[in-house]
Amino acid sequence: MSSSRRLPVSIPDLRKQLSLQRPVRRRPVITLSQCLDAFQKILLALFILRYTRKTFIQLRGYGILGSVRQLYRDVYRRLYALFLRLPFVQAKVQAQVQKTVVELQEKLVPSGPGVTQYTALPASGWTGEQVRTELEKLGDMKHTQWEKGRVSGAVYHGGDELLTLQSEAFKRFGVANPIHPDVFPGVRKMEAEVVAMTLGLFNAPEGGAGVTTSGGTESIIMAVLAARQKAYHERSVREPEMILPDTAHTAFRKAAEYFKIKLHLVPCPAPSYKVQISTVSRLINSNTIILVGSAPNFPHGIVDDIPALSRLALKHKLPLHVDCCLGSFIIPFLARAGFPAPDFDFKVPGVTSISVDTHKYGFAPKGNSVVLYRSAALRRYQYYVCPDWAGGVYASPNMAGSRPGALIAGCWASLMKMGEDGYLSTCLQIVGAAKTIENRIRTSDALRHSIVVIGKPMVSVVAFTAISKPRDPFYALDIYDVADAMSARGWHLNALQDPAAIHVAVTVPIVAVVEELLKDLEEVVDSVRGNPTEKKGDAAALYGVAGALPDKSIVRELAEGFLDTLYKT
C-alpha cells in the first residue's frame, strides 16, 4: 500500500468551497470595547450622580458660606498639623507633653517611702483583716472631698443609709449573673421591675420596652445601634448619618466612631443654647438614621426643644432619641415639685427612645442605667443573637455577656428605698439649690459684672462663663482662672470649652454647702479679675493654651498620656 494519499479535491478548490460555505459573518452589534466604553460611562454617571447628590446634601445642610468655612477650617487644621510635625517643632511639643504627663503622674500616682505597690499576687493570701486594713487606707487616700460636697456631679447621693442598703444588696446577690435567669430568678425579676418602673416614670405607652445597661454611655450606644440596624434592615441604609446637637454627650460620638456613622454636629447658639432646629432640618437626608436631643445636656444643663425635634422626626419618619441620662430621676419630678418643666418624654409623640441613668439621680450604685424604647420591636434591633455557636445558642440584650446581678439588686433596692416621695424631695432640694446658684450669679454685685449664666438651665446643672466685654475692663477675667482658683480651695467644678465656661452639677452632698460654694466663688471672682494669673493652672493650661490651637493633636496626646497614667502603679 502506498503511504501517500491523494486528497479528493485540490487545495484551491477546497478553499473556495469552504469560503462559499462559510456563513456571511455579520458584524456584531456591540464590540467588547464599546461595551467597556458604555460601562465606563455608566460608572462615571453613577460617580457624578453620587457626588452631585453628596454636594447637594452638603450645600443644603451647611450652605455655601458654611461649606467654604468648613473647607477653610479643615485646610487650616491640616496645615497646622503638618507644622506641628516639623522636626524641631515636634521635639518641642513632645518635650512639653512629656513634662505635663510626668506632672500628672506625680499628682495621680502615689509614690515615696510610705507607699507599698502591689504589682504581683501575694504568695500566700492575706487574712481578711489585712485586706480590710488596706481597704481603709485606700479609701482614705488624699482626695477631693466629695463627702463634704466639694465635687460637681460624680457622687449623686452618698448618704450612709442608702450605701448600707446597697452593700447589703451586693452581699445577697454577689454571685448573681442575669445571663442565667433560671439560676438567679430574683435578679431577673428585679431587672424587669427596674425597667417597668422607669418606663412608667417616662410615660411610655402600652407596649413600651427597655433594657438595663452598665451606664449612660452603653444606653446611648445601644439606642444608636438600634437606630442603625433599623435603618439598615428597613431602608437599606448603608452609609448611616446621625444629626447631633454639638452639646450632646460624647457617648453619641463614641457610638458614631464604633459603628462608622457619619456625624453632623449642629450648633446650639446663644441666647437659648438649644439645638438649632432649622439646621437639623436642613441636614436630614435619606441616610439619616436618628435625631437626638438632650434633656438636659451635660455642659449647660439646657433642655433642647424636644417637641420641635419630634415634629421633624415624625415628618421624616425617623427615630428620635432623648438623652435623659443626667435628667434621670429629677426631670420627671420637676412639674410635681412646682418648677418650670419642659416636654421631654414619651408623651411627645416623636420620641422613640430615652436613656435614663439610674446611677445618677436615681441614686443607684455606679454601673446602672436604662435604655427605653417606644416599642418592643425597636428594642429587638439592639439584641445580639448567635444561633450557631459551638458553645450553644447565644442571646444577649446589650453589650456585655455576663453581667453583675449585684448591681441590679443595688439599683432595685435604691429605687424602692427612695420611692416617689424620696425623689420628689431630692428634686426639690437639688433643683432648689441650682436655682439659688443661678439667681446669685444673676444678681450678686460680686458676680454679675464678671460672669453670666449660660441659657436658662432647668434641672441640676448651672453653667457660667466670663462676660466677654464687660462695661468696665476691671471686671474682665479668664473663666479658667476661676476654675483653677476654686480647685485651689478644694472645689472640683467642671471646665467646659466652646464657649469657655465652667459648671456646677448639683448633687445631694452639694445641697448642704451651697452658701459656702457661693461665698468662695464670690471671693475667687474678686481675686482673679483684672489680674490674670501668671502661672496658669491645669484648666487654663489645657483649655486656654493647648485647646486654643486649631489642631487638637496635642490635646489628644495629653489625654492619651492621662489614660496611660491611670494604669501606672
Ligand X SMILES: *Cc1c(COP(=O)(O)O)cnc(C)c1O
Contact set with ligand X (CB under 6 A) = 215-217, 249, 251, 294, 297-298, 323, 325-326, 357, 369
In the complex with ligand X, which residue's Cβ is closer, 325 or 454? Answer: 325
Distance CA 268, CA 559 (A): 26
Structure letter (DSSP) for residue 545: I
In the complex with ligand X, which residue's Cβ is closer, 323 or 484? Answer: 323
Smallest distance, ligand X to C-beta of residue 222, A: 12
Distance CA 230, CA 222 (A): 12
Distance CA 456, CA 468 (A): 19
Q: Are 280 and 313 in contact (CB under 8 A)?
A: no
Non-local CB neighbours of 344 within 8 Å, separated by 6+ positions: 293, 295, 303, 306, 322, 324, 327, 331, 351
Smallest distance, ligand X to C-beta of residue 46, A: 40
In the complex with ligand X, which residue's Cβ is closer, 217 or 450? Answer: 217
Q: Look at residue 220 and give its three-state secondary structure.
A: helix
C-alpha dihedral (354, 360, 366, 367), degrees to nearest 10:
0
In the complex with ligand X, which residue's Cβ is closer, 325 or 451? Answer: 325
In the complex with ligand X, which residue's Cβ is closer, 219 or 352? Answer: 219
Q: Are 413 and 243 in contact (CB under 8 A)?
A: no
Distance CA 110, CA 418 (A): 38
Task: Phi first, then psi: give them for residue 559, nearest 5 degrees.
Answer: -65, -40
Q: Look at residue 493 and give its three-state secondary structure.
A: coil
C-alpha dihedral (402, 256, 549, 76), degrees to nearest 10:
150
Smallest distance, ligand X to C-beta of residue 496, A: 12
In the complex with ligand X, which residue's Cβ is closer, 279 or 328? Answer: 328
Smallest distance, ligand X to C-beta of residue 350, A: 20
Smallest distance, ligand X to C-beta of residue 419, A: 23
Which residue is it, cell 458553645? 391
Smallest distance, ligand X to C-beta of residue 244, A: 12
Closest CA to 222 of 189, 256, 255: 255
Smallest distance, ligand X to C-beta of residue 390, A: 34
Smallest distance, ligand X to C-beta of residue 296, A: 7
In the complex with ligand X, which residue's Cβ is closer, 251 or 411? Answer: 251
Q: Are 71 and 540 in contact (CB under 8 A)?
A: no
Smallest distance, ligand X to C-beta of residue 102, A: 28
Which residue is it, cell 421624616? 316
Distance CA 85, CA 91 (A): 9
Smallest distance, ligand X to C-beta of residue 205, A: 24
Distance CA 304, CA 292 (A): 9
Inter-helix orientation angle 553-566/87-108, to 10°? 30
In the complex with ligand X, which residue's Cβ is closer, 201 or 221? Answer: 221
In the complex with ligand X, which residue's Cβ is closer, 327 or 537? Answer: 327
Return the CA Rg of the chain. Answer: 32
Smallest distance, ligand X to C-beta of residue 367, A: 9
In the complex with ligand X, which residue's Cβ is closer, 368 or 450? Answer: 368
Residue nearest to ligand X (CB): 216
Structure letter (DSSP) for residue 464: E
Smallest distance, ligand X to C-beta of residue 322, A: 10
Non-local CB neighbours of 1 within 8 Å, separated by 6+ positions: none
Give the DSSP per-residue string, 144-173.
Answer: --GGGT-BSSS-S---HHHHHHHHHHHHHT
Query: Are β-strands 394-396 and 461-466 bridged in parallel, bridged antiparallel, or unpaired?
Result: unpaired
In the complex with ligand X, which residue's Cβ is closer, 249 or 274? Answer: 249
Which residue type occupies 515? E
In the complex with ligand X, which residue's Cβ is closer, 170 or 361? Answer: 361
